[in-house]
Structure 1
């Protein structure tokens, strides 16, 4: 799960750009992949945090205040540490980052002890957002909250436009490193009260409502 989570930031970034560029007509994924994606539980809050770009970390070196520093994770996934220079941070847990810095500092000081505190979780906030785009009144991106559904997001965006192909809506979800396209019968939800496809959402989900072809 840690490997998948370390890749999630990049996958979500690509997914956002792809959907916004007009992949709303993408065919649905296979029934097997759809079922697997729908059964994926929400990531446990107790899972170890994985660092990513825009996070800010406090690097503390015991008895070496001059080497302690608060620094953001750069877009290339690295941070700069006194004596050591650039260190890969993105994709690592705080403890893994601390271990890496300790190993490199050992060339300069005796038995270094490094601790890492994440003071700003910018990358986590980006990855965990839920988005709706396409033929809606107001494309929307909001932080994930437990219990959110497709209908919640559509209503929060002001509803669909008169040109929406409601029953061709897709829910895009990252599952095991792949993007799964899940069909949503949005017209049935809004007009008939059929909530069969009013799926519960997961962090990083994107709902795309296409326009009708004339």
Structure 2
């Protein structure tokens, strides 16, 4: 056996070890489905637009943006702290305060433009896609939807090594995605439903893996 053959065998072995070491991400099939994750109750934040309705007292109702200091201004009441409160909590507080001026007020509060949570409720796709971007989350959105919105993968994408990063119990965990199977073979096993905050990254092909 020639020295060239030994060198070739050694190179193949090294490449095999590198590929094995880099293939340690769990499949996204192992992650909890988005539908199993309970949505947290919404808390009003700075910049949110809220609609306040006082039954039988339309002059007290209004649509108002929460100020940078976290307060809103209400007729008869003045400034009211809104930031950090659930809509029903704020409605109860306004109702209690208005009880000093009108009889048995019935108040409802709705968040009509949740601007403070806009960036938290987004999906990001980065790396070797046509147009890396951040998109607003919509219920039912899948991996394929977001990749297509980003213009698909580039010619340099290692699409069988894509990664989904998801926040679970306060920390991000990474799961393998096979975009090649999804886009080329129609294999939807890793075309999972997404949830707010998910990040999809598509790496570049690498020479040592034999991808170029």
TM-score band by shorter chain is: 0.5 to 0.7
TM-score normalized by structure 2? 0.62
1:164 counterpart residue number: 157
Give runs of aligned pairs for residues 48-197 of structure 1, distance below 5 A. 49-60=42-53, 68-74=61-67, 78-82=70-74, 83-90=77-84, 92-103=85-96, 109=101, 113=105, 115-118=107-110, 120-123=112-115, 126-197=119-190
Tell me: CA distance 1:69–1:141, structure 2 relative to 1, closer, same or farther (3 Å).
same
CA contact (8 A) 1:154 1:160 kept: yes
Cα drift, residue 87 of structure 1: 0.3
Aligned-partner SS, 1:179: strand
Tell me: CA distance 1:69–1:193, structure 2 relative to 1, closer, same or farther (3 Å).
closer
User: What is the alpha-carbon distance in structure 1 between the residues aligned to residue 23 and residue 50 of structure 2?
Assistant: 40
Q: CA RMSD in A?
A: 4.0
Unaligned runs of 5+ in 1: 1-26
TM-score normalized by structure 1? 0.61
User: What is the alpha-carbon distance in structure 2 between the residues aligned to residue 169 and residue 149 of structure 1?
Assistant: 14
Provide Cα deviations, 1:153-181, integer angstroms capped at 9, x if missing partner. 21222211233232332212233433332
Provide Cα deviations, 1:95-132, integer angstroms capped at 9, x if missing partner. 111223345667x6477736233262333655444332
Structure of larger gyration radius: 2
CA contact (8 A) 2:125 2:146 kept: yes
The count of aligned residue pairs is: 183
User: What is the alpha-carbon distance in structure 2 between the residues aligned to residue 68 and residue 159 of structure 1?
Assistant: 47
Unaligned runs of 5+ in 2: 1-21, 208-212
Tell me: CA distance 1:200–1:40, structure 2 relative to 1, closer, same or farther (3 Å).
closer
